[in-house]
């Protein structure tokens, strides 16, 4: 096992990884930008190294500085967390050539799954159902574009091949909007990912976003965990996740089988997620694979009682999985609310700044993953996630009541947050009935048709 792990990340996920390492007896190195010197991950780690100024490109994305920090401190592995360099093949490659273990899948898997249109093609060949769409990337000038689009059928969605975080997507209701949608999606994707490649997909109406956590060992053994429903999204970004979802046990079994098949098709190693969309007739389609630990991983940890970060580290160190998917039990119903530094009452505008005071929720069945504390200043330079509030109870109905209770205790002053949004959503009758799908917020909360 590793002696010392450098965490190439910040915020709540860096704190989460340090906690796992400490319990495993592994020493930790935090890296931070100059404005993050007072962050909790820096306080909690055994050692810390400043890797550059606030701008991510100069610090958390600065491969040379991160590798130097690992070498100076003698770290034998790097955990990339999520975002930043977690799905960067070049970074995984540099780690390998410097003899530092990258805690993630093989670099070829990251590459294969990083490009969404290639990932879909790989999955289709492995026999996994994929959303109908173009096999190759297209442009507004692609010959027979309208014919191709008509064959898939409107409404369509233009998606960026390098996509992430809901960027580079455009819904196309009809032919007259197609060319413009392609051009705007290309421009957005180029600006966000440095790659403007886009492809077309059938736009599914009111689907559920259902994803499966998977773990794989070096020998090719794979397990899948009970699914997470991540349908409560705004602008294609998740806000509430829960597990299990309200799909039938038969479908859960079938989708779990396909998730494991998908993972095996790319020799999946360590922790990853297979994302599917499920339509009203319970048809399901592979959407993408995330080759890292995800923001919402604690949902699965709570529902199964397994520490996924420890598992990820253990597997990266070459240990065997040692159990099967049917050994995984569902311990109750879990809900997670993402608390962001955004004003949910003013169109979710970012709300960075100093946190004057905080009252944290607690009590039975509550978990809070956060890096904030009274007096902490939320910078505008990074993502707005402040905390993940999770609850578990025996049934969904009880978990909703518990989450409402926990939200009512949670008080953050000095900045605006998404706590009011969560209170409204949890009180919504359709939410309570479990009638949730990816357009829920527009249709049920903001009353759009």
Question: Which positions are annotated as active-site residues?
Answer: 292
* Stretch of 71-79, 82-90, 160-168, 241-249 lying at the interface with ligand ADP (CB under 6 A): 160-168
Q: What is the DSSP string of 348-381?
A: TEE--EE--EEE---STTEEEEE---TT-EE-SS
CB 64 within 8 A of CB 76: no
| Residue 207 in contact with ligand ADP, rule: CB under 6 A | yes
In the complex with ligand ADP, the residue whose CB is nearer, 12 or 87, is: 87
* Stretch of 37-45, 197-205, 320-328, 364-372 lying at the interface with ligand ADP (CB under 6 A): 197-205
Residues 110-139, mask of contacts with ligand ADP (x by CB under 6 A): ---------------------x--------
Shortest gap between Cβ of 429 and ligand ADP (angstroms)? 22
In the complex with ligand ADP, the residue whose CB is nearer, 32 or 116, is: 116
- Residue 111 burial (C-beta neighbours within 10 Å; 0-12, 13-18, 19+): middle
In the complex with ligand ADP, the residue whose CB is nearer, 59 or 233, is: 233
Shortest gap between Cβ of 440 and ligand ADP (angstroms)? 10
* Stretch of 139-147, 201-209, 329-337, 421-429 lying at the interface with ligand ADP (CB under 6 A): 201-209
* Stretch of 11-19, 82-90, 145-153, 156-164 lying at the interface with ligand ADP (CB under 6 A): 156-164
In the complex with ligand ADP, the residue whose CB is nearer, 378 or 436, is: 436
Residues 278-317, mask of contacts with ligand ADP (x by CB under 6 A): ---------xx-----------------------------
| Residue 336 in contact with ligand ADP, rule: CB under 6 A | no
CA distances from 348 to 340, 345, 355 (A): 9, 7, 18
Q: Residues in contact with ligand ADP, total (CB under 6 A)?
A: 19
Maximum CA extent, the chain:
61
| Residue 203 in contact with ligand ADP, rule: CB under 6 A | yes
Q: What is the DSSP string of 4-40?
A: EEEE---HHHHHHHHHHHHHHT-EEEEEEEGGGTT-H
| Residue 399 in contact with ligand ADP, rule: CB under 6 A | no
CB atoms within 10 A of CB 346: 9
Shortest gap between Cβ of 162 and ligand ADP (angstroms)? 9
| Residue 209 in contact with ligand ADP, rule: CB under 6 A | yes
How far apart are the C-alpha atoms of 56 and 381, rounded to whole Å?
Answer: 8
In the complex with ligand ADP, the residue whose CB is nearer, 71 or 175, is: 175
| Residue 163 in contact with ligand ADP, rule: CB under 6 A | yes
In the complex with ligand ADP, the residue whose CB is nearer, 1 or 171, is: 171
How far apart are the C-alpha atoms of 354 and 357, rounded to whole Å?
Answer: 9
Name residues whose C-beta falls within 8 Å of residue 198's C-beta, 6 or more positions apart in sequence. Answer: 137, 138, 139, 158, 159, 160, 161, 168, 182, 185, 186, 189
Nearest position to ligand ADP, beta carbon: 438
DSSP bridge pairs for 367: 390
Shortest gap between Cβ of 132 and ligand ADP (angstroms)? 9
Footprint of ligand ADP on residues 225-284 (CB under 6 A)?
Answer: 233, 236, 275, 277
Where would I find the H helices in 115-206? 116-125, 145-152, 178-193
| Residue 332 in contact with ligand ADP, rule: CB under 6 A | no
In the complex with ligand ADP, the residue whose CB is nearer, 209 or 402, is: 209
In the complex with ligand ADP, the residue whose CB is nearer, 162 or 406, is: 162
CB 297 within 8 A of CB 308: yes
In the complex with ligand ADP, the residue whose CB is nearer, 165 or 362, is: 165
Token look-up 């051009």 returns 183
| Residue 83 in contact with ligand ADP, rule: CB under 6 A | no
CA distances from 285 to 207, 335, 369 (A): 10, 24, 31
Residues, the chain:
449
Is the bond preceding residue 300 a cis peptide, omega within 30 degrees?
no
How far apart are the C-alpha atoms of 193 and 160, rounded to whole Å?
Answer: 9
Name residues whose C-beta falls within 8 Å of residue 225's C-beta, 6 or more positions apart in sequence. Answer: 212, 213, 214, 215, 300, 303, 304, 306, 325, 328
Shortest gap between Cβ of 209 and ligand ADP (angstroms)? 4
Pairing of strands 4-7, 77-79: parallel
Shortest gap between Cβ of 161 and ligand ADP (angstroms)? 10
| Residue 208 in contact with ligand ADP, rule: CB under 6 A | no
Report the interface residues with ligand ADP, using CB under 6 A. 131, 157, 163-166, 201-204, 207, 209, 233, 236, 275, 277, 287-288, 438
């Amino acid at each position: 096992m590793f002696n010392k792990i450098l965490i190439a990340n910040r915020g709540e996920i860096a704190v989460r990884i340090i906690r796992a390492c400490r319990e495993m007896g592994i020493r930790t190195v935090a890296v931070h930008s100059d404005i993050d010197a007072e962050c909790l991950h820096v306080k909690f780690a055994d050692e810390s190294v400043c890797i550059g100024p606030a701008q991510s490109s100069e610090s958390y994305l600065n491969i040379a500085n991160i590798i130097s920090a690992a070498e100076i401190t003698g770290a034998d592995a790097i955990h990339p967390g999520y975002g930043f360099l977690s799905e960067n093949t070049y970074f995984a490659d540099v780690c390998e050539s410097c003899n530092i273990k990258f805690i993630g899948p093989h670099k070829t898997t990251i590459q294969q799954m990083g490009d969404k249109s290639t990932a879909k093609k790989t999955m289709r060949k492995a026999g996994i159902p994929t959303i109908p769409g173009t096999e190759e990337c297209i442009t507004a000038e692609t010959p027979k574009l309208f014919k191709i689009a008509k064959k898939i059928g409107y409404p369509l969605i233009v998606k960026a091949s390098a996509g992430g975080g809901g960027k580079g997507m455009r819904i196309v209701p009809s032919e007259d909007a197609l060319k413009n949608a392609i051009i705007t999606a290309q421009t957005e994707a180029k600006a966000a990912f440095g790659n403007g490649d886009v492809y077309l997909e059938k736009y599914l109406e009111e689907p559920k976003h259902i994803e499966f956590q998977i773990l794989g060992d070096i020998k090719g053994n794979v397990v899948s965990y009970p699914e997470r429903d991540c349908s409560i999204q705004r602008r294609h970004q998740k806000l509430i996740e829960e597990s299990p979802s309200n799909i039938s046990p038969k479908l859960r079994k079938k989708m779990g089988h396909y998730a494991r098949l998908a993972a095996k098709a790319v020799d999946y190693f360590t922790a990853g997620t297979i994302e599917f969309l499920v339509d009203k007739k319970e048809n399901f389609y592979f959407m993408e694979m995330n080759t890292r630990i995800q923001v919402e991983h604690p949902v699965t940890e709570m529902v199964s009682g397994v520490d996924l970060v420890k598992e990820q580290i253990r597997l990266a160190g070459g240990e065997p999985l040692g159990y099967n998917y049917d050994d995984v039990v569902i311990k109750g119903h879990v809900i997670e609310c993402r608390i962001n530094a955004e004003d949910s009452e003013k169109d979710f505008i970012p709300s960075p700044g100093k946190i004057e005071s905080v009252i944290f929720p607690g009590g039975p069945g509550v978990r809070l993953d956060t890096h904030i504390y009274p007096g902490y200043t939320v910078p505008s330079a990074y993502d707005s996630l402040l905390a993940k509030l999770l609850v578990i109870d025996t049934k969904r109905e009880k978990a909703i009541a518990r989450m409402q209770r926990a939200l009512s205790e949670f008080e953050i002053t000095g900045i605006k947050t998404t706590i009011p949004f969560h209170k409204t959503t949890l009180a919504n009758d359709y939410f309570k009935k479990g009638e949730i799908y990816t357009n829920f917020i527009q249709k049920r909360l903001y009353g759009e048709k």
